[in-house]
Each structure stands twice: as C-alpha cells, then as structure tokens.
A and B are shown apart, each in its own frame.
Chain A
Amino acid sequence: MKLLTHNMLTSHVKGVTKGYPLLIKATEVKVNEVDFNPQFVSRMIPKLEWSALVQAADELGQRQDLPGELVPEYENNEEFLKKVHRVLLEVEVIEGCLRCPESGREFPISRGIPNMLLNEDEV
C-alpha cells in the first residue's frame, strides 16, 4: 500500500462519522524505486489531504524533511517534488494494519494489500 493510496482510504463502518485518516501500524515497510514524473506528482498534490500524508509518513518513520505545510509554487520546485514522490509512491506498507480513528476497527494489510472489506453488521 502506497501512501498516495492510503491518503484516499476511509473507514465506512456503520455509524462512524470521521473515519479518516486511518492510522497506520506497520510491521513491514519497503522503499522501492519508482520512475519520477514531476508533472504527475505536481498534479496529485491538490488531490491530497496534506496533513494526513505527513502524519502517515511520520508514523512510518519515513517523513525525513517533508514540510508540515505545502511550499508555495511547488510546481517547479523539483527538489520538493522529489521528496513528495518518494513519500507518495516509493514508500510501501507491506504488512500491518490501518486503524479507524473513531471506532478503533482494524483493517489488515497483507502482501501490500489493505483489506477494506466490512463485516455484515458494519455495513
């Protein structure tokens, strides 16, 4: 599970009003090389909940020097975009779980795949 994906995931357990962001408890994390496409990274930034991304990176100990707030005019800032690229696409949670911040319900992650399936009583 990459952090770009994590940034979109919410808990939809019945009754939960704020199931975002999901807290990450990782037991295995990998950092892979992914081709850098600055335009792609730049276009993804407005779609992100920036604070959730920083929090997730922090939880994995992968934040490095990613700023707490977006830098202005990041579109042409290659150094900044490279940092974002690394955190969004190269860091991957292989094993662990995602925890709903409201209900505490855990969604397992195994072989890099988060399992967001709900039980019958949670739908």
Chain B
Amino acid sequence: MKLKELESCLQQVDTFEEPKILLEQYPTSPHIAACMLYTIDNTFDDIEGKLVADLGCGCGVLSIGAAVLDAGLCIGFDIDDDALDIFKRNAEEFEISNLDLIQCDLCSLEAEAYAKKFDTVIMNPPFGTKHNQGMDMKFLKAALTMAKTAVYSLHKTSTREHIQKKANDWGVKMEVVAELRYDLPASYKFHKKKSVDIQVDFLRFSTT
C-alpha cells in the first residue's frame, strides 16, 4: 500500500467526540499516523506479521493503520470507555479482524505481565507537562518492558535530551526517525488559537 493510500484510508477513522482534557486526548492526524506506520513497516519491517501493541490507543488510528498493513494482531490499550467505544465502531466499519482491545490504566499497568510479549509497540502517548514525572515517560517505560524488538513513539522535541538520558539509563538505544510538526487544531474551549504547531520527535527505541 502506498503512503497516500494509507493516509486516505486513515482519514475515514472517526475520532474523539468529546475529548477529555484530563486524559490529554488528541487524535493523531491521519497524515502523521500514515507517515509513522509507513516508515515502521517499510524501513524497519516491524508491522507485517508482527504482534503489535498500541498504548493509549484512543480511537484507534494507529492500530487500524497497523492492522491494514497486515500486522498479525494489533492490541490497543486505553483507559477510556468512550474512546474504546469509538475504536470498536471504527474496527467494525473497517471490517478489520486482526485487532483486539484491553481497557486498563497504563499508569498502574503491571507491564511485567506482558514482558517481551509484543514484537513492536507503537504509541502517541499523552505528552504530560512535567519532564520528570511525565505521563509520557511512564508510557515509555511500560512500552520498553512489553516490546521485544522496538518501541515507536511521539514525544515533544523539547524533551529529547531528557528522554535520551533516560534511554541511556535504561540501556536502550534511541534514534530520532523524524522530526514532525504536529498540527493540533483547537479542540478545547481554552484553546485561543485556531491551531498550533508542536515540534514532535518520532522516536525509535530498541534493545540492541
């Protein structure tokens, strides 16, 4: 499948109807999702025929993309009932059968239970507002426990150094696959501008 086709396909994915600010719910744009997945598949061969986990899957745009790219199975993890409902609806509409879902809290997830079970973990985690107690780092730690081969994740470029340091502490290799500009349209009442561009790193973590 070509990148443009994948992006077109992902434009059909329904997103949050009433995003919850406390969970930092923002949809991953079809463009960014398609670029990420296309690279993970084509450059690294980490999707086709693999067991994939999508942490903080929300409405499922990354999972659906992975499924469409022939992941053996993609399992989405999220805490929110409403997001999972929409994900389910999306999966049914796309008639995708290589998807599954688990409702859980990734902050209190005993990731050890899933240690190295997944070939690949993909995610667009909540960015969190503080560097050291960030939600993004909790997600990353869980992901690194769960993945056998690689973790692909989006993080604010401004946190790159901090994450690199953590990666070194944890003994994992980090590579910046791409720098993206994440165009976030106003979705909450307090958003004054129509949209903002956030500099985001598309990162790959591996244990080798």
Contact = CB atoms under 8 A, between A and B. Distances in A.
A70 interface: no
Contacts of B105: 117-118
A10 B73 contact: no
B108 to A, nearest CB: 5
A115 B88 CA distance: 14
Contacts of A112: 88, 100-101
Interface string B92-115: 000001101111110010100110
B117 interface: yes
A37 B108 contact: no
Interface in A26-71: 32-35, 37, 39-40, 43-44, 47
A2 to B, nearest CB: 5
Contacts of B100: 1-2, 4-5, 112
B104 A89 contact: no
B110 A32 contact: no
Contact of B102 (A35, A39, A47, A116): A116
Interface residues of B, number: 24
B97 A32 contact: yes
Given A5-B75, A37-B72, A89 B103 contact: no
Interface residues of A, number: 28
Given A8-B113, A12-B110, A111 B88 contact: yes
B135 interface: no
B84 interface: yes
Contacts of B49: 37, 39-40
A18 B143 CA distance: 24
A43 B97 CA distance: 19
Nearest to A109: B103
Interface in B58-105: 70, 72-73, 75, 79, 84-85, 88, 97-98, 100-105
15 contacts: A1-B101, A2-B100, A5-B75, A8-B113, A35-B97, A40-B50, A40-B51, A40-B73, A44-B72, A89-B73, A111-B88, A113-B84, A113-B102, A117-B105, A123-B108
Given A89-B73, A118-B105, 17 more contacts: A2-B73, A5-B100, A9-B102, A12-B110, A32-B97, A34-B98, A35-B98, A40-B51, A40-B73, A44-B72, A111-B85, A112-B88, A112-B101, A113-B103, A116-B103, A117-B79, A123-B108
